[in-house]
Chains A and B, each alone.
Chain A
Amino acid sequence: MKGDGMAESTRAFAEQFDDPLQQKEAAQAGMWVFLVTEVLFFGALLTAYTVYRHLYPAAFREASRRTDLALGSINTAVLLTSSFTMALCVHAAKTGRRAALVALLALTMALGAGFLAIKGVEWAREIHEHLLPGPSFEFPSAYPGEAGRQAQLFFVLYFVMTGVHALHLVIGIVLLGVLAFFAALGRYRSDYYTPVEVAGLYWHFVDIVWIFLYPLLYLVGGPR
């Protein structure tokens, strides 16, 4: 999706297309289709979550209360802010302000990195508290019996969901880094900024995924 749009800086569009508009529409459509795939990819995890929460509601409530609500909420704010700066990136590209575009891309990357850092702190704390599924998992529970195993399922889903989400964010940061590099070289003009726009779609999608993960993982425990 991105690469083909930037085939050669000398030509306005890649040779398989008839004109620049066709290329732009193809790139946008390509990203939307890719995001459809992503919805189903995360959809499988959300389905698994729904099934197990339905089976083990009490254990999921209890396990959810062990997540770090404060850091999770701060992170939600950080990521939403990054979506705002990403939207400003697209605007800067559209209006042809090169310096602003580079600066805003860097800011968006920094916010993404900040999110990952905070997430890393959370993970470290949870591993320290023996919440990482596996042999070292410990979950002292008020409910007898199966609750420990059921809570472990919650944390399996917690780590897989936040892990896959973080991987998407890492890819997004790298993507923005490449864009910032080319933006600094002046490749994007007000009549050609499709890669910025398309990367923006991806970035917003990764944010939206988090908007679903945050309540499912942090808020289902109810008041603490």
Chain B
Amino acid sequence: MSDARAHYLNAGHSMRSWLLTKDHKRIALLYLASVTALFFVGGSAAVMFRLQLLTPHGHLVLPETYNKLFTLHGIVMVFFFLVPAVPTVLGNFLIPLMIGAKDLAFPRINLLSWYLFIAGAALALGATLYGGVDTGWTFYTPYSSVFSNTYVVATVMGIFVAGFSSILTGLNFIVTIHKMRAPGLRWFRLPLFVWAIYATSFMFVLATPVLAMALLLVGLERVLHLGIFNPALGGDPLLFQHFFWFYSHPAVYIMVLPAMGVISELIPCFSRRRLFGYEFVVMATFGIAFLGFLVWGHHMFVSGQSAFAGLVFSFLSFVVAVPSAIKVFNWTATLYKGRIRFHTPMLYALGFIGLFTIGGLTGLFLATLGVDVHVHDTYFVIAHFHYIMVGGSVMAYLGGIHYWWPKISGKMYPDALGRWAAVLIFVGFNLTFFPQFIVGYLGMPRRFYMYPPEFQVYNVFSTAGASILALGYLLPLGYLLWSFWYGPDAGDNPWGASGLEWKTSSPPPVRNFETKPVVDEEPYDYEGGRYG
């Protein structure tokens, strides 16, 4: 960092210049450090229960501890890693750059969002570590509100507080994308990452308040012994489940839409082709965002909701697969006759397409009422949503980090090592989760600390895969940090990529662009001869 040119990283070296920054790029790095730490906290819990499950009657942890471990894993990974990761790290860094703005519309609110996130994470994590919570990340009532003897209230308040971080981040993005685009950057010239974050922001704004209110009511019910969701006092526990999934199903799309946005950037760049069917991908993004709000009941097929509701939710869940499939076909069609380059980000993107497809197709099994009754609450479900959330979101997040790392840090990491890590993660992931489809189908229920001995072989595969996966995740942590200080300079546009973020220097100056950019080209113009 000794170069003479002024940029956002050398604009101040004090703690204060970071903790009170209003620069969206620095705030993105604050988020990057926070969510990375939280990812490894959530991951360690997974390592512990995977070790417990190595043998049918594992004696590593007590049954109560096991419950607390999988709850911690779920809460941290969903609310404090997967939901915020792509929007707050890559979104924060890239949205102003991609639309040619100097910053987000409300920089102070952006910083406030980070502090709310940290406060929420501290509260939730403090509670889960201090005494633990054993409700699962779903907080089903009346167990969470009446019977559980663990730190439910502090945990739900932590999620409540972090929810405002999501809402304000979404608000900031929506206003920025509407009001601050560079001259010439019409809506249908926007990069698909911007579209994806835009749609995700609406889901933040619309879904999060419902979860906030539901958790507030759980807290009140627990503290004041009210009966809002407690059937013994006239309340309806199904109402809680409806509220919870009204947020938490859209939350799946909050996790995967930004990931799809990343993939839509990577595939054209490393195929040297314009994205196939740009407009269709935009429409599919909004199709997913809209339909995503109408399918929450497929989490409740066996809960006692009416058979008619189950039928409708089943049908709608099939419908939401259509726009997802459109995207997969469009990415694949972009590859066709492309000049494909297998750099690290591209390996993650290709991995995403394969794993997301498996996750999506098994989602159709689960959307089928009869099949769902058979595999409900088994490892089949665990495998399905990990294919979406880890195979999809985490792969895309890592792909995005590798793609934009030269822009973020100004440095290049060792690409060969990066490719090895990507392969390791792909192999480790499949070894961990594919056996869970089988063992789930055979009837192994989720959330138990022991299992019948005939399931052991699948669990041994899973735990072995998890070790490879852990190694795969540690590698990028190591070489990316190394490259930040010691890596070779990357140059402004090492991938020959389109998009405004590559037209400014790396790392970008504090105000992003020396002169206000003007856009005169269509998105992903890789075949027009401008990008070699």
Contacts and interface: CB of A to CB of B under 8 A. Distances in A.
Given A33-B205, A41-B210, 4 more contacts: A18-B516, A41-B213, A48-B239, A56-B234
Contacts of A45: 213
A51 B167 CA distance: 26
A36 interface: yes
A191 interface: no
Interface stretch (A22-30, A86-94, A97-105, A121-129): A22-30
Interface in A29-55: 29-30, 33-34, 36-38, 40-41, 43-45, 47-48, 51-52, 55
Interface residues on A, range: 35 or more
A118 interface: no
Interface string B214-243: 100100100011111000011110010001
Nearest to A152: B227
Interface string B184-215: 00000000000000000000011111101110
Contact of B236 (A33, A52, A146): A52
Interface string B504-532: 00000001000010000000000000000
A54 to B, nearest CB: 10
B341 interface: no
A-side interface mostly: helix
A18 B208 CA distance: 32
Contact of B105 (A30, A56, A160): A30
B282 to A, nearest CB: 20
A160 B174 contact: no
A37 B214 contact: no
A4 B108 contact: yes
A149 interface: yes
B243 A37 contact: no
Interface residues of B, number: 43
A215 to B, nearest CB: 21
Given A4-B107, A16-B104, A26 B210 contact: no
B102 A44 contact: no
B227 A15 contact: no
Top 4 nearest A-B pairs (CB, nearest first) are: A44-B213, A41-B209, A16-B103, A149-B234
A40 B104 contact: no
A5 to B, nearest CB: 9
B-side interface mostly: helix
A1 interface: yes
A133 B233 CA distance: 11
Interface string B155-186: 00000000000010011101110111000000
B206 A36 contact: yes
A152 B233 contact: yes
B315 interface: no
Contact of A43 (B171, B180, B210, B235): B210
Contacts of A160: 217, 220
Interface string A48-84: 1001100110000000000000000000000000000
A26 B179 CA distance: 6
Contacts of B286: none
Given A22-B180, A37-B205, A38-B209, A55 B236 contact: yes
A45 to B, nearest CB: 6
Given A3-B108, A34-B171, A26 B180 contact: yes
B169 to A, nearest CB: 12
Interface of B: 101-109, 167, 170-172, 174-176, 178-180, 205-210, 212-214, 217, 220, 224-228, 233-236, 239, 243, 511, 516
> Most chain-B Cβ atoms within 10 A of its Cβ — which of A16, A25, A48, A56?
A16
B209 A29 contact: no
A44 B209 contact: yes
Contacts of B106: 1, 4, 26, 30
Contacts of B176: 26
B103 to A, nearest CB: 4
24 contacts: A3-B108, A15-B511, A17-B105, A26-B180, A29-B175, A29-B179, A33-B205, A40-B207, A40-B209, A41-B209, A41-B210, A44-B209, A44-B214, A47-B243, A56-B234, A134-B224, A135-B225, A149-B233, A152-B226, A152-B227, A153-B228, A153-B234, A156-B226, A160-B217
Nearest to B220: A160
A44 B206 contact: no
B178 A29 contact: yes
Nearest to A34: B171
A108 interface: no
Nearest to A21: B179
A16 B109 CA distance: 13
A194 interface: no
A47 B176 CA distance: 32
Given A30-B106, A152-B233, A156-B226, A37 B167 contact: yes
A16 B516 CA distance: 12
A85 interface: no
B388 to A, nearest CB: 25
Contacts of B170: 33
